[in-house]
Amino acid sequence: LKLGVLISGRGSNLQALLDAAADPAFPAEVALVLSNKSDAYGLERAAKAGVPSAVVRHKDFPDKPAFEQAMTEALEAAGVELVCLAGFMRLLSPWFVERWHDRLINIHPSLLPSFPGLDTHRRALETGVRFHGCTVHYVRTIMDQGPILVQAAVPVLPGDTEDGLAARVLEQEHRAYPMAVRLIAEGRVRVVDERAEVVGDAA
Ligand code: GRF
């Protein structure tokens, strides 16, 4: 399965996908990395892995449709079949989301539906939840909502800081994202009534 990974920065989740794909047994490959920022560190990760990348800056386009059209053209030219958002910090329009319906996934640093949006780790600490984590889900037009593919939970420990908790969650993100991609690539996911069912799962 050919992946297009959309980034805006650090790209550690991109790295997790590149590392997974380095194993010939992994059923997906990163065909294109797209960044909306020219200084995103993830672009260097792509270069190191020998994966094509491109910068599509929203500022270079008159409006959002033109920006998203350009991204779509680049993804299609690379033969991308599944788009993975990995720290991509632009909100995508309903047009783009529908254009890639059930072929567009995101990783979010909370156990959705808790804590959609930004500052999830700070909010988890403020709320006093005992468990926190990450979610890989199909993207829908409402931000951080959509059929859930994989979740991983971590404990919130007494005295946790935002950074400590973020690091504990990030470790799980790097496992969860390749796992979700593998499920899709193996054809094991069906979306029924806006729930993602994993074929062969006991539940
Ligand atoms: C991750 O925490 C991801 O869940 C969120 O943005 C962060 C991106 O980190 N959507 P990285 O760029 O993958 O290192």
User: Residue 202 above 80 pLDDT?
Assistant: no
Whether 1-100 and 109-137+147-203 share one fold: the answer is yes
pTM of the predicted model, to two decimals? 0.96
Cβ-in-10-Å burial (0-12, 13-18, 19+) of 187 comes to exposed
Name the residue of 12, 30, 165 whose CB sits within 8 Å of the most ligand 1 atoms, as the mutation to test its pocket.
12
pLDDT one-digit tens code per residue, 100-153: 999 999 999 999 999 999 999 999 999 999 999 999 999 999 999 999 999 999
Residue 203, pLDDT above cutoff 60: no
Q: Is 87 in the pocket of ligand 1 (CB under 6 A)?
A: yes
Fold entry, domain 1-100: Rossmann fold (3.40.50)
**ipTM of the modeled complex:** 0.97
- Residues designated as active site: 108
Decide if 137 contacts 112 (C-beta within 8 A): yes
Any ligand 1 atom below 6 A from CB of 133? no
User: CATH assignment of 109-137+147-203, given 3.40.50.170, 3.30.9.100, 3.40.50.980, 3.30.1330.10?
Assistant: 3.40.50.170
Cis peptide before 109 (omega within 30 of 0): no
Question: Per-residue pLDDT tens for 34-92?
Answer: 999 999 999 999 999 999 999 999 999 999 999 999 999 999 999 999 999 999 999 89
Q: Domains of the chain: which residue ranges?
A: 1-100, 109-137+147-203
Tokens matching residue 29: 């490959």
Please tell me the distance from the alpha carbon of residue 65 to that of residue 192, in angstroms, as a whole number.
29
User: How confident is the model at residue 201, as a pLDDT?
Assistant: 64
pLDDT at 52: 98
Q: Does ligand 1 lie within 6 Å of residue 86's CB atom? A: yes
Strands 148-155 and 82-85: unpaired
| Cβ–Cβ under 8 Å, residues 180 and 26 | no
